[in-house]
């Protein structure tokens, strides 16, 4: 019997090849999106599975803040935790930290490289079963002058020479000996192979002894790994998780506990890459919003559009085949057999679509890997458990897609079918209802796409300014040690350079330095959280930040540079600060001018913990120009003149960042430090690095939206064919009665527009929610009006006209005699 | 075999009520060839549909071999129809995408008959209607008369107790119509019970009994005079 159904499906394909092809293509597109979402998630979940014992390894996460100002659970916890954790829970197999990761200039003989180095606890070798290529890993991280190097970095630095025992120079004054070389696995791990991976390192050196040092629990610290060993201890992640609140209560110093609420949690190592990405995209909302969840949702939405498309066309087809179905019933087909026939047909098309989707993924995989580093094939193939899931999904989609026509045909009486022939067995609202849902989803995605694009354009234009390639940020140790003033001095005669300044963090990377300030001397009421930006002279002119009131810091005026806020406080005089417009508004000033001369105070908790009470006087107000993308609820900025070493020098190039100007800056640094290996980022490159996760997310939304639109349009084309075919008689009669071709075309297009517009109207609340959810993570979000949604509506209607236009035109052009004769 | 007792059928729409059958009572014995005649709208097809169990009467009792069919559930009706009835329609109602063999085999397929048995019975049916060698053709490749013979083959293949033919020659020219009528006559002579709706007095004359209907009622019910052709 099933063979008969299958043959029937083949006949259906022959009878309406265009419809069947559209069904298959749209389902294939839907499956491609859905499978891709699953493959990406599978790839991420595979992370670190190549490391031995990875399932026993967890990472501690920590959250700070309260109310809406929360950081989200970040996989980097404050440094003292590891030590207390090991002593409080001796049954843990191992606890180890990796932190202070940075790029170093590493020299060996005449060979000089930029390598990524990080501190690590000696117990790291108990957490990870590294593959030791050479040396003794057990003792390598025990000594302060040792390093462990990856085989890839060793090869780059030493060539084929045995590196064990060789002395290298790290930065200016650290001269350790290579004690061990480890080979990291090729598969996806948080250690790499991509340098952007959260745990990437070229070499590790010992964590210095911190006993006796003051403990600061409210800062972002190292990645802290915990390994469990169920074979020797009953300690499990669940037990440890349940103990973490009490652990914090035991160890968090009371004065720091007053400053902010902080909590610990634990995630499996395999979740580390997605958690990192979630934090980059959604910040504090990463606990409720996850890229894996969103990817799956988008995949399901596109698949739903494809399924609705199928249901719509299958319903239309069923209307044409109703007489045949009546005859089958007369000949003895039971309801179940009727359902089976539709189901097998739907299943056959779904299976073909799924196979095409897998082929598409195979073809797309290399490009996806090139663009994103994500190996879709690995995600698909390594997790064989997903294949049964795929099959189940194919069956479910096939079943849901055929449900409407199949159930209706099951119910229809043979006498009705034989009497009514090709008259639709469905209310016209059924087909229209499906189009409504289809376009509700499509319009939501298109609106989101427009808003995402507008927000991205806004971020890029407001963040980058008019000439982003004229700003050069020096990131190497030599340049940072030298300081921007010395560099500016060395470049004094260089006409291709306009000037230099400095800043205390790398733009578009994590900015963790914040204060809580108030206009009240008590520091209790009206407290606002702000980013503390420690900048050099000419910071605002270098970045082109507009001054709205007052003045900025001036060398000529003799504004005092300090090395920290506490130094400024110690001097005793009020500290001069510049603030941005956002802070002015948050603090309740009516205008920028009103804020000039006003004093700000640290919140009471900050004052107590930091043991200082500086008075900060506002001398200038500038436009809000954040150099971070997301902010954990912090949106305002406070600027302090500061000349501390190791800030990042920023050089303003006069000629739009020509290679010659960049070379001149390098030479200027090397004129002061001959061995310096200058490393830099142009401002737009730095932005590109920080913006990459958002950019990838945007690309994914764009791709999925375009596919959803394509599927919906395909569906409309199919519906247009069916509907105009069914209305041929009516059109013939109308034309005989005097209707013009134009009137007929308008009639058809109007009928198609109504459900499309209804779907778009239905999308409004969903589009609003989706865009607000997306924008709330940006520190500088656009104000969304109804315009993007209106554009999406107009776009959807125009697309529907495009889809139905061809059929409307041919129907309008047909001769009434042709139609009525054939009737 | 069949007993109809005061069968009525009323079609209701929002505005009108059409009484297609009014208190129709009649009986059909096994092996009879009954022709139902009457003008358009007299209720012939409605009577046929009710007898064929593809429509339900509004009132009255329909007994088929002592079973009260009017009380059957949908599922029982399907099962009963499947094993008891064969249909021939004026417009053939063949499925164009299927071959002649597949069309004929369709009732067997729904009865769950094995493939091998289906094949041999289809071969026999093709022989019966004189279409051996046309089994792999599509209905659209055949003449109207041939298509109706395929429909007859499909109607008889499952050995139904009653064959219902709704104007089986209505779409055929006289030569093809005669072929189909010969076929039905032969089937009746072999023992099949046939009820045929027709407008043609000549064709009605081939049946043993003629029921004339008017305005939803049986006007006359008499044995047919001997046909000149037969």
Tell me the backbone φ, ψ of residue A90, rounded to 5 degrees.
-65, -15
Of B74, B107, B112, the CB nearest to A331: B107
Nearest CA in chain A to B97: A11
Beta-carbon separation of A14 and B97 below 8 A: yes
CB atoms within 10 A of CB A518: 19
**pLDDT tens digits for range A431-468:** 677 788 888 888 888 898 899 888 888 877 777 776 77
**CA–CA distance, A451 with A455 (Å, rounded to integer):** 6
Confirm or reject contact between A337 and chain B (CB < 8 A): yes
Nearest CA in chain A to B52: A330
Q: Residue A198: name the closest of A47, A71, A379 by CA.
A: A47
- As given in the structure block, the two tokens for residue A414 are 């043979």
pLDDT on residue B229:
43
CA distance to partner chain B, nearest, from residue A414 (Å): 6
Nearest CA in chain B to A13: B97
Beta-carbon separation of B112 and A333 below 8 A: no
Name every chain B residue with its beta carbon within 8 A of the beta carbon of A329. 54, 78
**CA–CA distance, A567 with A571 (Å, rounded to integer):** 6
**CA–CA distance, A678 with A476 (Å, rounded to integer):** 6
Beta-carbon separation of A413 and B49 below 8 A: no
Range 350-369 of A in CB contact (< 8 A) with B: none
Beta-carbon separation of B110 and A418 below 8 A: no
Name every chain B residue with its beta carbon within 8 A of the beta carbon of A415. 49, 54-55
**pLDDT tens digits for range A622-679:** 998 878 776 556 778 999 988 777 789 999 988 777 888 888 899 999 888 887 788 8
This prediction's pTM: 0.70
- As given in the structure block, the two tokens for residue B196 are 């045929």
Beta-carbon separation of B87 and A334 below 8 A: no
Nearest CA in chain A to B48: A415
Q: Cis ω on the peptide bond leading into residue A193 (within 30° of 0)?
A: yes
- As given in the structure block, the two tokens for residue A684 are 């737009």
Q: Are A273 and A287 in contact (CB under 8 A)?
A: no
Buried b (16+ CB within 10 A) or exposed e, A307-337: bbbbbbbbbbbbbbbbbbbbbbbbbbbbbeb
Q: Which of B47, B54, B111 to mutate to test the interface with A (most CBs of A within 10 A)?
A: B54
Beta-carbon separation of A330 and B49 below 8 A: no
- As given in the structure block, the two tokens for residue A519 are 């206009």
Confirm or reject contact between A250 and chain B (CB < 8 A): no
**CA–CA distance, A602 with A144 (Å, rounded to integer):** 39
Say whether A805 sits in a helix, a strand or coil: helix
Confirm or reject contact between A10 and chain B (CB < 8 A): no
Q: How far is CA A718 from CA A405, A683, A806, in A?
A: 16, 50, 11
pLDDT on residue A46:
77
Beta bridge partners of B40: none
Beta bridge partners of A267: A59
* ipTM of this complex prediction, to 2 decimal places: 0.73
Beta-carbon separation of A323 and B93 below 8 A: yes
Beta-carbon separation of A329 and B111 below 8 A: no
Instruction: Identify the burial level of A343 via C-beta atoms within 10 angstroms of its C-beta, where 0-12 means exposed, 13-18 middle and 19 or more buried.
Output: buried
Confirm or reject contact between A421 and chain B (CB < 8 A): no
Query: For A43-199, where are the E strands, in sequence order?
Result: 57-66, 69-70, 94-108, 111-120, 131-135, 146-150, 169-170, 177-183
Of A324, A413, A418, the CB nearest to B95: A324
Q: Are B139 and B103 in contact (CB under 8 A)?
A: yes
**CA–CA distance, A69 with A552 (Å, rounded to integer):** 29
- One-character DSSP codes across A583-643: HHHHHT-SSHHHHTT-EEEE-HHHHHHHT---EEEEEEEE----S-S--TT--EEEEEEB-
Q: Are A683 and A469 in contact (CB under 8 A)?
A: yes
Name every chain B residue with its beta carbon within 8 A of the beta carbon of A337. 110
Nearest CA in chain A to B46: A415
Q: How many CB pairs under 8 A join A and B?
A: 53
Nearest CA in chain B to A7: B98
Return per-residue pLDDT of chain B as tens, 230 residues: 889 999 999 987 767 888 889 999 999 999 999 999 998 888 888 898 888 888 888 999 999 988 888 888 877 888 888 888 888 888 888 888 788 998 899 888 888 888 899 999 999 999 988 888 899 998 888 888 899 889 989 988 888 889 999 888 888 888 888 888 888 898 888 888 999 998 888 888 888 899 999 999 999 988 866 544 43
pLDDT on residue B150:
92
Say whether B120 sits in a helix, a strand or coil: helix
Q: Which residues does A598 contact at the CB level (< 8 Å), separation at least 6?
A: A519, A587, A589, A617, A618
Residues of chain A with pLDDT under 50: 422-423, 822-823
Beta-carbon separation of B54 and A334 below 8 A: no
Beta-carbon separation of A337 and B106 below 8 A: no
Beta-carbon separation of B87 and A329 below 8 A: no
Of B74, B87, B109, the CB nearest to A330: B87
Q: Which residues does A417 contact at the CB level (< 8 Å), separation at least 6?
A: A322, A323, A325, A326, A327, A329, A425
Name every chain B residue with its beta carbon within 8 A of the beta carbon of A333. 78, 110
Beta-carbon separation of A15 and B75 below 8 A: no
For residue A673, the number of C-alpha atoms closer than 13 Å in the C-beta half-sphere is: 20
Nearest CA in chain A to B82: A332
pLDDT on residue A67:
54
H or E stretch at A806: helix A787-813
Q: How far is CA A507 from CA A536, A681, A687, in A?
A: 15, 10, 7
Beta-carbon separation of B54 and A330 below 8 A: yes
Name every chain A residue with its beta carbon within 8 A of the beta carbon of B81. 330, 332
Task: Answer positive or negative: Cα dihedral of A114, A120, A125, A129.
Answer: negative
Of A11, A14, A414, the CB nearest to B54: A414
Beta-carbon separation of A418 and B93 below 8 A: yes
Nearest CA in chain B to A10: B97
Confirm or reject contact between A17 and chain B (CB < 8 A): no
């Amino acid at each position: 019997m099933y063979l008969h159904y299958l043959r029937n499906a083949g006949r259906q394909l022959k009878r309406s090849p265009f419809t069947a092809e559209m069904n298959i293509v749209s389902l294939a597109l839907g499956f491609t999106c859905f499978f891709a979402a699953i493959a990406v998630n599978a790839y991420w979940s595979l992370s670190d599975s190549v490391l031995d014992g990875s399932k026993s390894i967890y990472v501690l996460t920590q959250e700070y803040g309260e109310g809406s100002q929360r950081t989200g659970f970040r996989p980097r916890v404050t440094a003292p935790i590891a030590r207390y954790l090991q002593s409080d829970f001796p049954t843990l197999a191992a606890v180890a930290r990796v932190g202070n990761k940075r790029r170093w200039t590493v020299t060996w003989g005449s060979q000089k490289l930029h390598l990524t180095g990080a501190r690590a606890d000696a117990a790291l070798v108990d957490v990870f079963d590294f593959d030791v290529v050479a040396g003794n890993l057990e003792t390598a991280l025990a000594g302060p002058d040792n390093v462990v190097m990856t085989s890839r970095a060793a090869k780059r630095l030493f060539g084929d020479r045995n590196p064990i025992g060789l002395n290298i120079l790290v930065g200016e004054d650290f001269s350790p000996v290579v004690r061990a070389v480890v080979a990291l696995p090729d598969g996806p791990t948080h250690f790499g192979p991509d340098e952007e991976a959260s745990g990437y390192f070229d070499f590790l050196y010992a964590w210095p002894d911190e006993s006796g040092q003051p403990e600061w629990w409210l800062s972002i610290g190292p990645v802290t790994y915990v390994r469990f060993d169920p074979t020797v201890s009953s300690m499990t992640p669940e037990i440890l998780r349940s103990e973490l609140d009490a652990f914090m209560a035991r160890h968090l110093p009371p004065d720091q506990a007053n400053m902010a609420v902080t909590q610990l949690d634990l995630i499996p190592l395999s979740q580390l890459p997605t958690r990192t990405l979630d934090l980059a995209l959604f910040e504090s909302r990463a606990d409720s919003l996850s890229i894996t969840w969103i990817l799956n949702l988008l995949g399901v939405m596109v698949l739903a559009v494809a399924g609705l498309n199928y249901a719509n066309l299958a319903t239309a087809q069923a209307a044409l085949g109703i007489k045949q179905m009546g005859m089958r019933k007369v000949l003895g087909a039971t309801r179940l057999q009727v359902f089976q026939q539709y189901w097998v047909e739907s299943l056959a098309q779904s299976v073909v679509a799924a196979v095409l989707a897998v082929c598409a993924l195979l073809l797309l995989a290399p490009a996806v890997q090139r663009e994103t580093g994500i190996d879709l094939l690995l995600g698909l193939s390594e997790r064989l458990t997903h294949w049964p899931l795929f099959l189940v999904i194919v069956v479910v989609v096939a079943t849901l897609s055929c449900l409407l026509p199949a159930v209706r045909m099951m119910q229809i009486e043979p006498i009705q079918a034989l009497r009514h022939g090709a008259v639709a067995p469905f209310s016209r609202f059924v087909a229209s209802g499906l189009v409504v849902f289809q376009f509700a989803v499509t319009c939501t995605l298109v609106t989101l796409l427009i808003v995402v694009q507008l927000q991205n354009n806004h971020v890029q234009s407001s963040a980058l300014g008019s000439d982003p390639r004229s700003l050069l940020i020096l990131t190497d140790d030599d340049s940072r040690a030298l300081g921007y003033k010395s560099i500016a001095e060395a470049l004094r005669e260089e006409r291709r350079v306009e000037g230099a300044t400095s800043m205390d963090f790398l733009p578009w990377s994590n900015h963790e330095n914040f204060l809580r300030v108030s206009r009240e001397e008590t520091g209790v009421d009206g407290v606002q959280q702000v980013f503390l930006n420690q900048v050099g002279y000419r910071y605002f002119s270098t970045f082109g930040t507009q001054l709205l009131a007052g003045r900025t810091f001036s060398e000529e005026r003799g504004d005092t540079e300090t090395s920290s806020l506490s130094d400024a406080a110690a001097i005793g005089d009020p500290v001069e600060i510049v603030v941005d417009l956002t802070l002015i508004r948050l603090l309740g000033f009516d205008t920028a001018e009103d804020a000039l001369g006003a004093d700000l105070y640290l919140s009471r908790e900050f004052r107590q913990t930091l043991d200082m009470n500086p008075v900060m006087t506002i001398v200038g107000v500038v436009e809000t120009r954040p150099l971070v993308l997301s902010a954990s609820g912090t949106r305002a900025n406070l600027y302090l003149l500061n000349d501390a070493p190791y800030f990042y020098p920023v050089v303003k190039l006069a000629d739009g960042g020509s290679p010659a100007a960049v070379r001149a800056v390098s030479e200027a640094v090397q004129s002061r430090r001959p061995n310096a290996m200058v490393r830099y980022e142009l401002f737009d490159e730095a932005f590109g690095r920080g913006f990459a996760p958002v950019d990838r997310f945007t690309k994914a939304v764009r791709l999925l939206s375009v596919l959803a639109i394509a599927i919906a349009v395909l569906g409309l084309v199919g519906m247009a064919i069916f509907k105009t075919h069914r209305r041929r008689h009516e059109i013939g009669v109308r034309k005989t009665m005097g209707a013009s071709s134009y009137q007929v075309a308008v009639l058809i297009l109007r009928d198609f527009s109504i459900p499309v517009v209804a779907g778009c109207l239905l999308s409004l609340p969903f589009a609003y929610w989706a865009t607000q959810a997306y924008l709330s993570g940006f520190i500088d979000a656009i104000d969304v009006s109804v315009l993007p949604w209106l554009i999406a509506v107009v776009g959807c209607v125009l697309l529907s006209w495009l889809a139905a236009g061809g059929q409307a035109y041919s129907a309008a052009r047909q001769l009434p005699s042709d139609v009525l004769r054939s009737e | 075999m069949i007993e109809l007792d005061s069968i009525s059928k009323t079609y209701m729409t929002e505005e009108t009520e059409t009484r297609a059958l009014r208190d129709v009572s009649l009986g059909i014995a096994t092996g009879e060839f009954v022709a139902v005649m009457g003008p358009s709208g007299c209720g012939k097809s409605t009577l046929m549909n009710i007898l064929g169990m593809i429509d339900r009467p509004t009132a009255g009792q329909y007994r088929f071999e002592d079973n009260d069919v009017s009380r059957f559930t949908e599922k029982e009706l399907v099962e009963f129809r499947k094993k008891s009835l064969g249909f021939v329609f004026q417009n053939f109602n063949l499925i164009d995408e299927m071959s002649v063999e597949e069309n004929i085999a369709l009732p067997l397929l729904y009865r769950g008959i094995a493939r091998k048995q289906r094949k041999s019975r289809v071969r026999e049916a093709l022989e019966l209607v004189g279409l051996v060698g046309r089994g792999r053709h599509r209905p659209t490749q055949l003449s109207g008369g041939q298509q109706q013979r395929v429909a007859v083959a499909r109607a008889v293949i499952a050995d139904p107790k009653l064959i219902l033919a709704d104007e089986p020659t209505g779409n055929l020219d006289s030569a093809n119509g005669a072929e189909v009528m010969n076929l039905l006559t032969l089937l009746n002579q072999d023992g099949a019970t046939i009820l045929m709706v027709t407008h043609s007095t000549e064709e009605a004359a081939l049946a043993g009994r003629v029921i004339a209907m008017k305005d939803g009622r049986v006007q006359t019910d008499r044995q047919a005079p001997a046909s000149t052709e037969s």
